[in-house]
């Protein structure tokens, strides 16, 4: 069984040999006496070779072994390999881009895929190549950082986040999909069967926790597959225990991380996980109306709430700021920059949405808890709560004329369902499962999660993205006892999206399908599936007037540096409507949000998931009047003036007036974070909001702009 995985990895890793070895040998043999070079390497080995060895052990040794001998019939050797001769440029190209197909090393034919190593910084690439070429009897040629940088630029791989540790999965995607689930392992049904390797109850619990933390985001709670492959017992038992251990240890070319060789899991944990995958998956409990109603609490009845605001602050300019790891939402006054209050909410609040009146804010966390906050109270406080599932991400309120503040809706990841509630109390009225068939292959999927939800301005509809199956549901809430649903087939892996400037067309990313779906909410139909580049992630997107193409909607991406403009003006600019009209190059892949404002001449683009610290701690800003002029980089992390920590810059958000942009400076739970406020016109620092209570700030939602879909 292991040999099958090894043959695969051999394929992936083979180019590494090419990439690492070929250049060095050629350079050494063609340019100078290897003995002289060996002496120079020996004299300067300590720092460079130590660095190269560290990079090698982390990224290469899993396949090629620590001593470069490889594994017979599986992973080609880097020591004494005749494949290390060839064109230096080609070798470096393989290092950056990877390679697939047949290769012969020492008379043995390997056929597979070598993953790109372009995600590594240039200095690490140069160090590891030099290390390989100076070890195990190799001739000792060195590769400089400048040479790697030059080849990268020449061949067009300037964006490190495009690089892949595993074929098909970028660095940005790995960070994005790696969040742990909020489901408690102890709540699952744990059935240990005798026809699989022995697993104790304690080991089963450990494995369940690891699976929910590391694996379920891609493979699904039930292991039926989502963006990752299915891992059900009928498949895993056929592979066998040793194969699974190798798979978990070394990873796969399809995007499976190398959990063992990266040091993330110990040998004991790898062994437990291999045995666990051969057992029936521990299914979390279902969570239907009885459980939902039991979790529902009205903390302050509508009749006991204030009849008018109890303070003089401008509620419309409040910001609801997620304090992710604190399980809180901070309400910050946009005028004074004061933290008005912090409200205890569910874990890792994903979004906050105001009611149509602007009085209430509804938040939802990863643990499926919805909190309703009354902004009229002094200070604002929770008035109702409910739990609509065990894992969730979306909430929205009714906005159509005549239904203001009447209903709220929340969507769950587990169980896959949405729940309609009374807007003033959160009393649950209707729960609807989203399990069903995929739009493409028409296969049944038991776990199609509810992603983005928006409220239509054209009809009393909630527009619901069903992620894994690719259905967009227009849920007519005018009669929730006889619910009418328009089901639009789009593309799989629907995630985030927002409105065009007319608020008629819903633009939503099917991010793993590399498409943007455009829905006409007035006619209740799909307008187009527009092709974009790898893994778009717009948040709500950004609307602006392009100097050449008129009204456009903008998205950035996890998988590359592209900032993509789609035309949204079928009447004034029909030739560009619902297709890509412009692509700009941003700082790099790993962007989560783009943002503009009708009063702004700027387009702001973050990149918090980029592996390069200087990028993730900065933000790019484009001049709308000169889009071809490139972008300015603002050092938001530096302006925050914080201590140690990752200081990732995430989610630009405008104030009500549209003259300030707020950024979260997102550090670790035990480290200092902040909110940085920038003057939109001058692009200069305006204010820094610091407080010990600002723990892991991520999303920020200005009440006015969120309510009116201004972005």
Active-site annotation, residues = 215, 218-219, 256, 495, 537
- Helix 145-155 crosses helix 122-133 at what angle (to 10 degrees)? 120
Eight-state DSSP code of residue 626: G
C-alpha of 181 from chain center? 14
Contact status, residue 426 vs residue 442, Cβ threshold 8 Å:
no
Nearest Cα to Cα of residue 529 among 500, 481, 489? 489
What is the radius of gyration, based on Cα positions, of the chain? 27
Q: 359-377 as b/e, with b when 16 or more CB fall inside 10 Å?
A: bbbbbbbbbbbbbbbbbbb
Which runs of E-coded beta strand occur in 185-229?
A: none
CA dist 540 and 526 (Å) reads 18
* Separation in Å, CA 595 to CA 245, 345, 660, 701: 44, 26, 12, 12
User: Which tokens sit at 668?
Assistant: 């670790």
Q: How far is CA 592 from the centre of its chain?
A: 7
Continuous segment of H or E residues that includes residue 91: helix 88-97
The set of residues, in sequence order, having a beta carbon less than 8 Å from that of 644 and lying 6+ positions away, is 671
Q: What is the DSSP letter of 560?
A: S
Instruction: In whole angstroms, give the CA distance from residue 240 to residue 488.
Output: 41
The rounded Cα 433 to chain-centroid distance in angstroms is 25
Residue 343 CA to chain centroid, in angstroms? 26
CA torsion, ordered 648, 650, 653, 659, to nearest 10 deg: 40
Query: How far is it, in rounded angstroms, from Cα 606 to Cα 99?
Result: 31
**Nearest 10 degrees: Cα torsion 437, 462, 325, 371:** -130
Residue in the structure block whose two tokens are 């300067």? 44
Distance CA 604, CA 619 (A): 7
Residues 627/547, Cβ–Cβ less than 8 Å: yes
Decide: 649 and 606 in contact? Cβ < 8 Å.
Answer: yes
| Contact (Cβ atoms closer than 8 angstroms) between residue 182 and residue 347 | yes
* Cβ atoms of residues 35 and 139 within 8 Å: no
| CA 363 – CA 411 distance, rounded (Å) | 12
Q: Do you find a cis peptide bond into 366, omega within 30 degrees of 0?
A: no
DSSP run (H or E) holding 14: helix 2-31
Q: Which residues are CB-neighbours of 493 under 8 A, at least 6 positions away?
A: 227, 467, 468, 470, 510, 511, 512, 513
DSSP 8-state class, residue 71? B
Task: For residue 27, give every residue at least 6 positions away whose Cβ sits within 8 Å of its Cβ, in sequence order, or none.
Answer: 88, 141, 142, 143
Q: Give yes or no for a contact between 671 and 645, defined as CB atoms under 8 angstroms apart.
A: yes
* Phi, then psi, of 271 in degrees rounded to 5: -60, -45
**Residues belonging to the chain:** 711
**Residues whose CB is less than 8 angstroms from the CB of residue 481 and which lie 6 or more positions away in sequence, other chains included:** none
The DSSP 8-state label assigned to residue 215 in this structure reads: T
């Amino acid at each position: 069984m292991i040999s099958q995985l090894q043959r695969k990895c051999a394929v992936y890793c083979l180019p590494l040999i090419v990439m690492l070895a070929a250049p060095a040998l050629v350079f050494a043999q063609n340019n100078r006496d290897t003995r002289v070079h060996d002496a120079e390497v020996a004299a300067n080995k300590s720092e460079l070779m130590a660095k190269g060895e560290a990079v090698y052990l982390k990224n290469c040794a899993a396949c090629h072994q620590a001593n470069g001998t490889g594994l017979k019939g599986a992973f080609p050797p880097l020591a004494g390999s005749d494949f290390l001769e060839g064109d230096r440029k080609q070798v470096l190209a393989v290092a950056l881009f990877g390679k697939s197909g047949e290769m012969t090393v020492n008379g043995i034919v390997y056929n597979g895929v070598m993953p790109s190593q372009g995600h590594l910084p240039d200095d690490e690439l140069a160090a590891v190549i030099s290390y390989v070429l100076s070890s195990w009897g190799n001739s000792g040629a060195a590769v400089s950082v400048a040479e790697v940088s030059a080849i990268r630029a020449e061949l067009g791989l300037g964006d490190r986040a495009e690089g892949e540790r595993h074929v098909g999965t970028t660095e940005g995607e790995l960070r994005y999909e790696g969040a742990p689930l909020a489901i408690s392992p102890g709540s699952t049904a744990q059935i240990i069967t005798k026809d699989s390797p022995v697993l104790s109850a304690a080991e089963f619990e450990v494995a369940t926790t690891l699976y929910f933390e590391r694996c379920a985001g891609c493979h699904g709670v039930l292991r039926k597959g989502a963006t990752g492959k299915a891992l059900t017992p009928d498949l895993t038992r056929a592979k066998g225990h040793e194969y699974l251990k190798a798979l978990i240890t070394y990873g796969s070319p399809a995007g499976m991380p190398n959990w063992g060789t990266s040091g993330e899991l110990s040998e004991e944990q790898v062994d437990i996980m291999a045995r666990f995958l051969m057992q029936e998956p521990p299914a979390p409990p279902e969570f239907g109306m009885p459980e939902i109603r039991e979790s529902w609490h009205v903390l302050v009845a509508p009749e006991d709430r204030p009849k008018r605001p109890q303070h003089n602050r401008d509620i419309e300019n409040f910001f609801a700021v997620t304090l992710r790891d604190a399980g809180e939402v901070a309400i910050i006054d946009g005028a004074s920059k004061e933290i008005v209050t912090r409200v205890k909410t569910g874990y890792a609040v994903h979004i906050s949405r105001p009611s149509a009146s602007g009085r209430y804010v509804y938040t939802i966390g990863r643990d499926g808890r919805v909190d309703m906050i009354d902004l009229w109270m002094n200070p604002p406080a929770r008035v109702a709560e409910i739990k609509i599932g065990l894992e969730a991400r979306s909430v929205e309120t009714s906005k159509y004329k005549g239904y203001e503040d009447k209903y709220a809706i929340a969507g769950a990841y587990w169980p896959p369902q949405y729940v309609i509630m009374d807007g003033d109390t959160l009393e649950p009225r209707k729960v609807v499962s989203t399990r069903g068939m995929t739009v493409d292959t028409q296969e049944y999927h038991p776990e199609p999660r509810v992603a983005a939800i928006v409220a239509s301005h054209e009809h009393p509809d909630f527009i619901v993205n069903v992620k894994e199956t690719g259905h967009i549901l227009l849920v007519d809430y005018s009669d929730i006892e006889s619910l009418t649903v328009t089901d639009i087939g789009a593309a799989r892996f629907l995630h985030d999206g927002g409105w065009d400037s007319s608020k008629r067309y819903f633009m939503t990313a099917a991010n793993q399908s590399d498409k943007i779906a455009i829905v006409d909410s007035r006619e209740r139909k799909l307008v187009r599936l527009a092709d974009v580049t790898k893994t778009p992630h717009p948040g709500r997107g950004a609307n602006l007037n392009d100097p050449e193409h008129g009204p456009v909607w903008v998205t950035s991406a996890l998988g590359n540096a592209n900032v993509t403009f789609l035309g949204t003006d079928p009447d004034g600019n029909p030739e560009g409507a619902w297709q890509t009209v412009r692509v700009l190059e941003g700082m790099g892949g790993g962007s989560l949000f783009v943002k503009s404002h009708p009063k702004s001449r700027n387009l702001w683009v973050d990149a918090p998931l980029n592996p390069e610290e200087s990028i993730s701690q900065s933000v790019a800003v484009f001049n709308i009047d000169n889009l071809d002029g490139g972008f300015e980089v603002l050092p938001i992390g530096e302006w925050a003036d914080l201590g140690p920590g990752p200081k990732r810059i995430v989610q630009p958000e405008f104030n009500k007036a549209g003259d300030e942009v707020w950024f979260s400076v997102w550090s670790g739970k035990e480290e200092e974070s902040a909110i940085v406020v920038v003057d939109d016109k001058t692009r200069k620092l305006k204010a820094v909001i610091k407080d010990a209570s600002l723990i892991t700030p991520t999303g920020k939602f200005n009440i006015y702009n969120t309510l009116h879909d201004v972005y």
